[in-house]
């Protein structure tokens, strides 16, 4: 992940070196060599995703002169989106993400929780299934509205086990456990928001240079205080990705470029919106397709 970016660009190398220094972890080596089990742990995964996104943006800008009309980021990707919109610089993004990852890892250590994808069930019946599965001091709730028919739930493991039965009884085709470090975007992350608050308050925010569509509300803002508050609220709130994409489309966006590792989000764009173009840029192999989207 990001290895060809590091080989290509001095700025990408600088960003990965910075991630290593800030976190005290071998992020560069983990991205290049693994092991996957270590890379996917919360304290490493979050800075790895963000630094790869920032490095990809730097490399892309070195190849193509472009501007964007709005930005959005999914979960921890919101930090890279803020940096892209000039809310703060790349170093600040990495320092905040490190603090976020530490706070979330601590919160996760205090609950046996996880997440799962629910395929083929709409929001209303899934909410009812979550309510039915939440009992005996453990709860589960919708965490990500990723695409129509693709919703993510998060909560205590015992409640998720009950949800597998209630969701299937309500008509879900599949309930797929996710390989994540804990119950992200659920009530169990409120302690992480409390722990992160000081770090967020100490950082200087600037107004965004372009509109940002927020995870927790799908509202559009460029205001410093709204952007600051979002980084705390999004920890325990669902990611409203379907609403975010429709909001962007309503603003006139019809070309979407995912900048960072993988192509999951560009796939969600194509599943959610009609008559739009979407591509991803996370490695040099993606440059031609990304350039075509930016030139359109």
Catalytic residue list contains 283: no
- 140-156: b (≥16 Cβ within 10 Å) or e: bbbbbbbbeebbbbbbb
Longest CA pairwise span in the chain (Å): 56
How many Å separate Cα 240 from the centre of its chain?
Answer: 11
How far apart, in whole angstroms, are the C-alpha atoms of residue 72 and residue 56? 16
**Active-site choice (53, 98, 134, 185):** 185
Strands (E), 222-267: 255-259
Residue listed under structure tokens 């209303």: 124
Query: Are β-strands 255-259 and 140-147 bridged in parallel, bridged antiparallel, or unpaired?
Result: unpaired
CA distances from 104 to 109, 158, 198 (A): 9, 20, 14
Phi and psi angles of residue 218, each rounded to the nearest 5 degrees, phi first:
60, 20
How far apart, in whole angstroms, are the C-alpha atoms of residue 140 and residue 201? 30
Neighbours of 34 (CB within 10 A): 12
Looking at the DSSP bridge assignments, the partners of residue 257 are: 279
**Token pair recorded at residue 278:** 């979407």
Contact 8, 36 (CB under 8 A): no
Catalytic residue list contains 246: no
How far apart, in whole angstroms, are the C-alpha atoms of residue 225 and residue 284? 36
**Token pair recorded at residue 277:** 């173009």
How many Å separate Cα 137 from the centre of its chain?
Answer: 28
**Would you please indicate which residues are annotated as catalytic (active-site) residues?**
75, 185
């Amino acid at each position: 992940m990001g290895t060809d970016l590091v080989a290509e660009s001095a700025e990408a190398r600088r960003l990965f070196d910075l991630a290593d220094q800030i976190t005290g972890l071998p992020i560069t080596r983990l991205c290049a060599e693994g092991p996957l089990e270590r890379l996917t742990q919360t304290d490493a995964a979050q800075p790895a995703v963000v630094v790869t996104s920032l490095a990809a943006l730097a490399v892309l800008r070195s190849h193509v002169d472009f501007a964007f009309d709005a930005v959005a980021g999914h979960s921890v990707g919101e930090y890279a989106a803020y940096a892209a919109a000039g809310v703060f610089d790349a170093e600040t993004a990495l320092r905040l993400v490190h603090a976020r990852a530490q706070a979330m890892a601590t919160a996760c250590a205090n609950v046996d929780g996880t997440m799962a994808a629910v395929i083929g069930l709409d929001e209303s019946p899934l909410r009812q299934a979550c309510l039915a599965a939440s009992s005996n001091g453990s709860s589960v709730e919708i965490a990500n509205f990723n695409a129509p028919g693709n919703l993510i739930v998060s909560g205590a493991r015992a409640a998720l086990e009950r949800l597998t039965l209630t969701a299937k009884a309500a008509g879900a085709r599949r309930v797929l456990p996710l390989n994540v470090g804990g119950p992200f975007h659920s009530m169990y992350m409120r302690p992480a928001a409390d722990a992160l608050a000081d770090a967020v308050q100490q950082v200087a925010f600037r107004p965004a240079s372009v509109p940002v569509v927020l995870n927790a509300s799908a509202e559009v803002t460029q205001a410093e205080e709204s952007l600051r508050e979002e980084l705390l609220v999004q920890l325990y709130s669902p990611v409203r990705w379907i609403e975010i994409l429709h909001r962007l489309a309503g603003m006139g966006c019809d070309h979407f470029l995912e900048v960072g590792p993988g192509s999951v989000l560009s796939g969600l764009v194509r599943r959610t919106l009609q008559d739009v173009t979407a591509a991803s840029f996370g490695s040099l192999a993606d440059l031609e397709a990304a350039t075509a989207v930016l030139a359109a």
